[in-house]
Amino acid sequence: MFNFSLMGAGRIGKMHAEIINSHPECSLKYIFDINKKFANELADKYNASVASTAEEALENNDIQVVFIASATPTHTEFIIKAAKAGKAIFCEKPIDLDINKVNQCWDEIKNLKVPIQIGFNRRFDTSHNQVQKNAHSGKIGQLEMVVITSRDPAPPSLDYLKDSGGIFRDCTIHDFDLARFILGDDPVVEVSAFGSQMVNDDIIKINDHDTTMCILKSKKGVLVHINNSRRAVYGYDQRVEVFGSKGMSISNNQTPSSVEYFNESETFSKEPILNFFIERYSQAYKDQFKDFVQSIKLNKDTNVTFKDGRNALILANAANESLNKGQNIKINYD
Ligand SMILES: NC(=O)c1ccc[n+]([C@@H]2O[C@H](COP(=O)([O-])OP(=O)(O)OC[C@H]3O[C@@H](n4cnc5c(N)ncnc54)[C@H](O)[C@@H]3O)[C@@H](O)[C@H]2O)c1
């Protein structure tokens, strides 16, 4: 049995608490959030204790695993403290918005050899995962192009946007990771990014972008197109396509059922696609967690490493640089 401390009882923390609690080999023991109301509500729901300080949750002898789902600026501090206390760690994406903080964090923990997994849940989506397998099984021949569409149903609040780190580090970071996952051992070597402000005035106020396209090129020459929007009126649009010398494979949007309607004005009309990440990736979040638990149980490397988190941030930073300079950026992972 693994005993957990959960850091952060906000939007995603609430969902993870349910997943931890539902796993037969895991027990949620402590919750820490600076918002005491959120912490108390979750503790009551899962019969856990509220830690009075972050250290109490991170260093407690009763726990073996720390799950970090708190606000992004807390991640590196909590990772370092948990690693020094010898705990296994799951940390939500991104590790941090600042590559220097990510590098310092790695310097502090690399010799401690604690298991750590980063929350790139999309790798665990059954359909995206199958597309990745199809890209390498020979089914589509030699991989030549990857097309990733990722559009949110509606933009978040101005308060959220102000601290988000910009669309590439907040949203596209998932797609950069998915692109790296699909490419396998063929690294991205170049990034070119474009962005526009088309959705609302909030984005203009904070000088961010809401409509973006990135082109990545891998060492072997595979081209990856990622398009993002902060507003898709028809729902959370999540599609992945791989194209090769012998064919193509697509992971399409999902609807609550496969029922279709046909009438005078429309054909092949379905129910709206699943609304947002908690609904769309519910299976992926659960399987990601099972995979993490399996890794720590078998004492093997996790399948989404600190390095994966760092490399996705490097691509996001390169996209920012490309957009700002109007140039193609060559990637340096050092
Ligand atoms: N993998 C995914 O699909 C996904 C989706 C959403 C969010 N996230 C990530 O999860 C993290 C949390 O996002 P969210 O949407 O739940 O945000 P949120 O604002 O709903 O929740 C964050 C929580 O952290 C708490 N917090 C802030 N400072 C703290 C501190 N010092 N100690 C403890 N708790 C503290 C806040 O009180 C809040 O309850 C972010 O890093 C975000 O990028 C990942």
- What average pLDDT does this structure show over 35-49? 98
Question: In terms of residues, how long is the chain?
Answer: 334
Measuring from atom 28 of ligand 1, which residue has the nearest CA?
A: 71
- Answer yes or no: is the C-beta of 177 below 6 A from any ligand 1 atom: no
Mutate to test the pocket of ligand 1, among 18, 55, 70, 279 (most ligand atoms within 8 A of CB): 70
Mutate to test the pocket of ligand 1, among 7, 41, 79, 92 (most ligand atoms within 8 A of CB): 92
Q: Residue 207 has what pLDDT?
A: 94
Which ligand 1 atom is nearest residue 77's CA? 31
3-state SS string for 105-146 = HHHHHCCCCCCEEEECHHHHCHHHHHHHHHHHCCCCCCEEEE
Instruction: Give the helix/strand (H/E) hosting 14.
Output: helix 11-22
Q: Is the pLDDT reported for residue 283 higher than 90? A: yes
Contact 197, 210 (CB under 8 A): yes
CA dist., res. 194 & res. 140, Å (int) = 29
Measuring from atom 21 of ligand 1, which residue has the nearest CA?
A: 10
Q: Rounded mean pLDDT of the chain? A: 97
Which ligand 1 atom is nearest residue 170's CA? 43
Domain covering 2-114 assigned CATH 3.40.50.720 in the classification: yes
Three-state DSSP class for residue 217: strand
Three-state DSSP class for residue 82: helix
Q: Residue 275 has what pLDDT?
A: 87
CA dist., res. 67 & res. 107, Å (int) = 21
Measuring from atom 7 of ligand 1, which residue has the nearest CA?
A: 12
Lowest-pLDDT choice from 15-19, 40-44, 45-49, 262-266: 262-266
Q: Is 47 exposed, middle or buried (0-12, 13-18, 19+ CB in 10 A)?
A: exposed
Q: Residue 147 has what pLDDT?
A: 98
- Answer yes or no: is the C-beta of 93 below 6 A from any ligand 1 atom: yes
Contact 121, 15 (CB under 8 A): no
- What average pLDDT does this structure show over 287-314? 97
Question: To which CATH superfamily is domain 123-277+311-330 assigned?
Answer: Dihydrodipicolinate Reductase; domain 2 (3.30.360.10)
Q: What is the number of helices (H) and of strands (E) in the chain?
A: 13, 15
Mutate to test the pocket of ligand 1, among 7, 11, 292 (most ligand atoms within 8 A of CB): 11
Q: Residue 227 has what pLDDT?
A: 98
- Answer yes or no: is the C-beta of 165 below 6 A from any ligand 1 atom: no
Confidence of residue 127 (pLDDT cuts 50, 70, 90): very high
- What average pLDDT does this structure show over 204-231? 97
- What average pLDDT does this structure show over 26-43? 98
Q: Is the pLDDT reported for residue 196 higher than 90? A: yes
CA dist., res. 36 & res. 303, Å (int) = 33
Contact 136, 110 (CB under 8 A): no
- What average pLDDT does this structure show over 312-325? 98
- What average pLDDT does this structure show over 163-180? 96
Residues of the chain with CATH 3.30.360.10: 123-277+311-330
- Answer yes or no: is the C-beta of 119 below 6 A from any ligand 1 atom: yes
Cα of 160 vs centre of ligand 1, distance in Å, is: 11
Which ligand 1 atom is nearest residue 35's CA? 37
Confidence of residue 277 (pLDDT cuts 50, 70, 90): very high
- What average pLDDT does this structure show over 285-303? 97
Confidence of residue 75 (pLDDT cuts 50, 70, 90): very high
Residues of the chain with CATH 3.40.50.720: 2-114
